[in-house]
Structure 1
Amino acid sequence: MLTFKQSFTPTHKGSVQNIEHVFESIKQERLQHTSGYYELPFSKKALQDSQNYIKKHKDLVAKLKNLVIIGVGGSSLGLKALDSMLCSLPERNAIKLRFLECTDCFAVSDALKKLKVKNTLFIVISKSGSTIETSSLFKYVLEKYELLAPKNKSHLLAITDTNSPLQKWCQKQKIAFINIDKNVGGRFSVLSSVGILPLMLLGYKVKEILEGARELASRFFERKEDHILQKALYLVQNCEQYPINVLFSYSSVFKEFNAWYVQLWAESLGKLNAHKQSVGLTPVALVGSIDQHSFLQLIVQGPRDKSVTFISLSSKHYPKPRIPQKKLEFLESSDFINGASFATLLDKQCLATMQTLQAQEIPTDSIVVDKVCAYNAGALVMYYELLTSCAGCALEINTYDQPGVEFGKARLRDMF
């Protein structure tokens, strides 16, 4: 379960009408299949494709010790976010998850250290296969591990768009592949086979992830989660005063989720709008309590250009470990916390920080995650995807393209 609280509401004239307009726009996006992500929690395709693959390759799966994901951005960040959030759960298999997502030579060497083909599955994830980082890394592992040798082909899988160049290559080379909807952008793809298959291999309860996402989406379209519309509209209405949205996550389990949020928010919302104006909301990701000792000072006494969203875990499910009932001479000032759990300390630090910002009239909202579980992880993903779509509609932009990224790709090609 997720609990939401907001210290703000839309303030401009016509806010009610604007909320209705945004909601109708989102309904039309879903009906017109503007983006396929809306239907992912309701579809059985990712589950069935993943189950079929695992059944067909059960001998490989049984001895799997390494899972190497070759992909960048949306092809890796969502999976990394969910695995980092859920990796402490007992159902997690003892498989090392490795990522080849950066062409930095040190990162490549580190990701492949002590890797053996016989207990490894390489999954290349790309809508087309032509993303330069992905294709370069893919070529590297093909050669290094001789993955096109008949005995090694079963250790390679592609997840790609239907009839993409990558699929055609797989068909010619007789390499396994799974298709995803062309209309699901990478940063919205974690609830497709892009995330579901690796998460299933890792042992997670993927049906519960999809259930959490599905129930939040259903409640949203039943108008039982209007706080999402209200938040999106507030951020857009006040984007000139508060152009920066800070996600302050009070648990290390959300660190990679923060990185996924940054891509989702920045790549979706930084655009030219319908009137050819440059618009957007800038994401900043922090981890508490670590960043209380760095970035918080800027928020409290720096420029008043930030809204802050807090994500925290309910401490009631995490009574251990606890701070010992131990007194240290000269350090008695910290004894007030003795005997409390670390989860309680972190929870109170989050609350104290949030109340400090509210006292300064800095816009805040909070999401409390009842406990770390597959259902809540799916709900949190869907919450942010819906929030992004609502903000995009309010900004009058195409939330799902990324033309600015393509400019850089063209320049890179010209350099060679």
Structure 2
Amino acid sequence: MIKFKDYFAKSSNKYNVSKEAINALFKAICEERNKNISGYYNLPYDKEAILDSRKYIKTNNAFLSSISNLIIIGIGGSSLGLKAIDSMLSHLQYRRDLNLKFLEHTDPIKIEKSLKKIKLKNSLFIVISKSGKTIETLSLMKYVLKHYELLKNHNNKKHLIFITDKDSPLESFGNLNNITTFCINPNIGGRFSVLSTIGILPLSILGYRVENILSGAKKLSNSFFNRKEDHILKKAIFFGNNRDKFHINILFSYSSVFKDFNAWYVQLWGESLGKLNSFGRKTALTPIALIGSIDQHSFLQLIVQGVMDKTVTFLSLHQKSYENPKIPKINMKFLDSCDFVNGVSFASLLQKQQLSTMEAIQKEGVPTDHIEIKELNEESVGSLIMYYELLTSCAGKVLDINAYNQPGVEFGKKILITKFKR
């Protein structure tokens, strides 16, 4: 279960959102979903990813039981969502003891370090590229193909899987070489794709109950479209109406398990909401991701007494669900100023640090809200993913932009090609 505590409207009466604006935005999002502008809306209801994953695991059960390394070759939306979910759920006891690695960087030092102890016989490589022509991914794939001779024979090929768009160049290459290949709907953008086969297959191999992830996403989606989550609409309108004043949006996550989720949020928010609107005006909501309590010592000062151009969303775990470990009741000479926390759980300390930080920020008039997860499991993670995807779509509508393309990224790709053609 997730609690959404909205404080934006309490910041000042001038930031209140009208009922007419809320209804208009909801209508626009419903029209977008009905027109299938982006296929991510359908993913919580689609069984294809689960059925394909189950079939693959059943057919290859003996082989999968023999592997100890799962290596994901992909970048951005092809890796960040999967990494985020695994980081949030890796504490679950039934998570398989697999070494999950990500080849997502063309840094030569990182490549050699990541593959240093990886042997073919106990490894499965999953290449993920929606377009089937991502330069970083295909370059890393070429290196792995040669290094491990993955195309040498049928036995080597079983250590390789492709996930890509239907009719992409990578699908064609996979079919030509008899590589196990899974395809997803091309109108599901990479940063919105974690609930597709891109996330569901690797997570299934890792042993997670992926049907519960989709169930959590479905529950949040149903609740939203039944008008029980209007706080999402209000928040998006607040962001849009105050884009010039509060153009920096901070996700302050109070647990280290959210570190990779923060990275997923930064890509989702930044790549979706930094665009030209229909009038050619550059517009953006800039994401910043922090981890509490660590970043209280590096960024809090800027929030509290810096320029008032930021909003803050706090993300935390319900501390009563995590009663251990506790701080020992030890009294030490000269260090007694810290004895007031003796005997309390670290979770309780973290929660009170979060509440104190939030109160200090609110006193300065910084708009905030709070997402609290009672228990971190597959269902709550699925709901959290869907919440941010819906919020991003709503914010895109208010900003009058296409939240699903990335023309600025394509500019850089074209320049890169010209540099190699000189």
TM-score over 0.5 for the alignment?
Answer: yes
What is the CA–CA distance in structure 1 between the aligned matches of 2:326 and 2:17, rounded to whole Å?
50
Aligned residue runs from structure 1 range 119-198, under 5 A: 119-150=122-153, 151-198=155-202
SS in 2 for 1:5: strand
Is 2:400 the counterpart of 1:396? yes
* TM-score, length basis structure 2: 0.97
SS in 1 for 2:207: coil
Q: Is the 8 A contact 2:17 2:237 kept in 1?
A: no
Give how far 1:372 is off: 1.2
Is 2:101 the counterpart of 1:98? yes
SS in 2 for 1:336: helix
What is the CA–CA distance in structure 2 between the aligned matches of 1:365 and 1:354, rounded to whole Å?
9
Amino acid at match of 1:257: F
Q: Is the 8 A contact 2:314 2:371 kept in 1?
A: yes
Name which of 216, 236, 239 aligns with 1:235.
239
Aligned residue runs from structure 1 range 3-18, under 5 A: 3-9=3-9, 11=14, 15-18=18-21
Give structure 2 stretches of 5+ with no counterpart: none
Paired residue for 1:258?
262
Paired residue for 2:53?
50
Amino acid at match of 1:353: T
Amino acid at match of 1:344: S
Count of equivalent residues: 416
Give how far 1:25 is off: 1.0
Give how far 1:22 is off: 1.2
Paired residue for 1:2?
2
What is the CA–CA distance in structure 1 between the aligned matches of 2:14 and 2:119, rounded to whole Å?
59
Superposed CA deviations along residues 318-348 of structure 1, whole A, max 9, x for unmatched, are 1110001110111111111100000000000
What is the CA–CA distance in structure 2 between the aligned matches of 1:67 and 1:176, rounded to whole Å?
15
SS in 1 for 2:164: strand
Greater Cα shift, 57-66 or 395-404: 57-66
Paired residue for 2:204?
200
Paired residue for 1:28?
31
* Closer/same/farther in 2, CA of residues 107 and 298 from structure 1, 3 Å limit: same
What is the CA–CA distance in structure 1 between the aligned matches of 2:15 and 2:308, rounded to whole Å?
19
SS in 1 for 2:181: strand
Q: Is the 8 A contact 2:8 2:15 kept in 1?
A: no
Is 2:46 the counterpart of 1:40? no
Q: Is the 8 A contact 2:269 2:287 kept in 1?
A: yes
SS in 1 for 2:41: helix
Paired residue for 2:89?
86
SS in 1 for 2:332: coil
Paired residue for 2:345?
341
SS in 2 for 1:178: strand
* Closer/same/farther in 2, CA of residues 212 and 14 from structure 1, 3 Å limit: closer
Amino acid at match of 1:127: K
Give how far 1:109 is off: 1.2
What is the CA–CA distance in structure 1 between the aligned matches of 2:266 and 2:8, rounded to whole Å?
22
Q: Is the 8 A contact 2:17 2:234 kept in 1?
A: no
Name which of 383, 387, 397 aligns with 2:387.
383
Q: Is the 8 A contact 1:8 1:363 kept in 2?
A: yes
What is the CA–CA distance in structure 2 between the aligned matches of 1:338 and 1:13, rounded to whole Å?
43
Superposed CA deviations along residues 360-384 of structure 1, whole A, max 9, x for unmatched, are 1100000000011111000000000
SS in 2 for 1:152: helix
What is the CA–CA distance in structure 2 between the aligned matches of 1:105 and 1:18, rounded to whole Å?
51
What is the CA–CA distance in structure 2 between the aligned matches of 1:98 and 1:305, rounded to whole Å?
37
Paired residue for 1:373?
377
Give structure 1 stretches of 5+ with no counterpart: none
Q: Is the 8 A contact 1:11 1:234 kept in 2?
A: no
Q: CA RMSD in A?
A: 1.0
* Closer/same/farther in 2, CA of residues 415 and 116 from structure 1, 3 Å limit: same
Aligned residue runs from structure 1 range 204-223, under 5 A: 204-223=208-227
Identity of counterpart residues, as a percentage? Answer: 56
Amino acid at match of 1:36: G
What is the CA–CA distance in structure 2 between the aligned matches of 1:407 and 1:73, rounded to whole Å?
17
Amino acid at match of 2:176: K
What is the CA–CA distance in structure 2 between the aligned matches of 1:293 and 1:13, rounded to whole Å?
32
Give how far 1:11 is off: 4.2
What is the CA–CA distance in structure 1 between the aligned matches of 2:132 and 2:37, rounded to whole Å?
23
SS in 2 for 1:92: coil
Paired residue for 2:228?
224
Amino acid at match of 1:220: F
What is the CA–CA distance in structure 1 between the aligned matches of 2:350 and 2:113, rounded to whole Å?
32
Structure 1 runs of 4+ with >3 Å offset? 10-14
What is the CA–CA distance in structure 2 between the aligned matches of 1:304 and 1:91, rounded to whole Å?
45
SS in 2 for 1:147: coil
